[in-house]
Amino acid sequence: MSRYPYIEKPLKGVASFSRVGEDSSQSQAAVLLMLGRQLRGDDAATVARARAASAHGKLDVIGLKSESEFPVPRLRPSPVRLLSAARQQNLRKMHGAGALTGESEKAYLDCATRLYKKPTVETAADLFEMCLRHPLPLVKIAAATAYFPVSAEPGRLIRILKAGVRSEDLLERDIAATALGRIDPASSALRFLTRARRARKKGAAKKHTVMLVHGTWAGDAGWWQPGGDFHTFIKRLRSDLYSAADRFEWSGGYSDFARSQAAGHLKAWVDDHAESGLDLMGHSHGANVIMLATSNGTRTGRLVLLSCPVHVDKYFPDFGNCASVCSVRVKLDLVILADRGGQKFTDPRIKENVLPIWFNHSATHDPAVWTKYNVAAKIGLRS
């Protein structure tokens, strides 16, 4: 799991950078990732792709009621590429030597204040440069991700992301791997997180009605497998949860091809097991796999999408092949920010359930979260 606490009332705006700690770091990471999306023009591109697919009214890129919920300076996409030496020199001049030690709370606050007062590529780059030295890896990873579109020296940013991929902290790892997957999908640093599907002995011929589908990088994770915490929790709610040795799984690869291949394998699995009408619960891009499977002709029951990155131009359910669709997510999911996807569906046929938690991508498969917020009752998940 992650060492970072669940946040219900995040620090906002300049206050996000008022202190260094695990409680403030997620707000800082969100600001940085959103700035990076602006500098790349991600949100406009996402809307344009949706519009080209006649689906522009089906997603909410940021997923907040208004900008005041989590204010971030406005930047335009920039072709500028900046050298680190110039930014470091400016940081020393503006904030003193403490700006480059990574530990000065005042330097972070002063730099963020300057950015919020005068949003430019340079003031944003100064904050990125400072945050590359942050004592918490989550913020370093977010800064490296955000800095990439305007940095003239990408090598050092990629090194930070590669180190993050090896983190034992799930949130750090998933953001780093997602960002690296967008920048360099063939990177050898990502290979150990994915694997080929393993052939499993077929289970007993018994009808089931619900199955879990893991997301990117999660093929070997325990939570979705028999004996795992979330699998055990859901099985108490639904005794018909599929638990046989030949349960469906996929490579967890971070690519459209991997998801397309997984959707084909899922259709074959459903056909082979005569499980038409199966309820499917997918996390992250596993949710996109199950939606793609319905588009490929797989007939299912209910779809439950957990922390699903929204890419309506590529992944959207065929409502003729599923009974209903609901979504469970957190606000400003950091992994979805790094993925460059949208944060929410706005199609009325998909019931969105946004938990009062910010940032944490894995919260939606945490039994404690389900218990505290009564998620099962909200989505009608009962035997």
pTM for the full predicted model: 0.95
* pLDDT tens-digit readout, 306-321: 999 999 999 999 999 9
What is the share, in percent, of the chain residues with pLDDT greater than 70? 96
Q: What is the mean pLDDT of residues 111-130?
A: 97
On the question of pLDDT at 202 being above 60, the answer is: no
Q: Quote the CATH superfamily of domain 210-379.
A: Alpha/Beta hydrolase fold, catalytic domain (3.40.50.1820)
Instruction: Output the pLDDT for position 3.
Output: 87
* pLDDT tens-digit readout, 320-370: 999 999 999 999 999 999 999 999 999 999 999 999 999 999 999 999 999
On the question of pLDDT at 383 being above 60, the answer is: no
CA distances from 265 to 245, 253, 270, 292 (A): 16, 14, 9, 11
How far, in Å, CA of 254 to CA of 148, rounded? 19
Question: 115, 13 in Cβ contact below 8 A?
Answer: no
Q: Which has the closest alpha carbon to 95: 131, 119, 146, 136?
A: 131
Tokens coding 304: 């439950």
On the question of pLDDT at 120 being above 80, the answer is: yes
The DSSP symbol for 283 reads: E
Tokens 């979504």 locate to: 327
On the question of pLDDT at 201 being above 60, the answer is: no
* pLDDT tens-digit readout, 141-185: 999 999 999 999 999 999 999 999 999 999 999 999 999 999 999
The DSSP symbol for 355 reads: E
Task: Express the helix, strand and coil content of the chain in percent, nearest 5 each.
Answer: 50, 10, 40
Residue 196: pLDDT band with limits 50, 70, 90: low
Q: What is the mean pLDDT of residues 41-49?
A: 91
Q: Please, what's the largest Cα pairwise distance for the chain?
A: 71
Distant-in-sequence contacts of 230-237, Cβ < 8 A, 24+ apart: 230/365, 230/366, 230/367, 232/367, 233/367, 233/370, 234/210, 234/281, 234/381, 237/376, 237/381, 237/382, 237/383
Q: What is the mean pLDDT of residues 223-247?
A: 94
Instruction: Tell me if residue 380 falls in helix, strand or coil.
Output: coil
* pLDDT tens-digit readout, 52-79: 988 878 999 999 999 899 999 999 999 9
Question: 134, 140 in Cβ contact below 8 A?
Answer: yes
Tokens coding 223: 């939570």
Residue 194: pLDDT band with limits 50, 70, 90: confident
How far, in Å, CA of 315 to CA of 179, rounded? 20
On the question of pLDDT at 206 being above 60, the answer is: no
On the question of pLDDT at 197 being above 70, the answer is: no
Beta bridge mates, 212: 281
Where in the chain is CATH 3.40.50.1820?
A: 210-379
Instruction: Output the pLDDT for position 69.
Output: 96
What is the average pLDDT value for the chain, to the nearest integer? 93
Residue 276: pLDDT band with limits 50, 70, 90: confident
Residue 205: pLDDT band with limits 50, 70, 90: very low
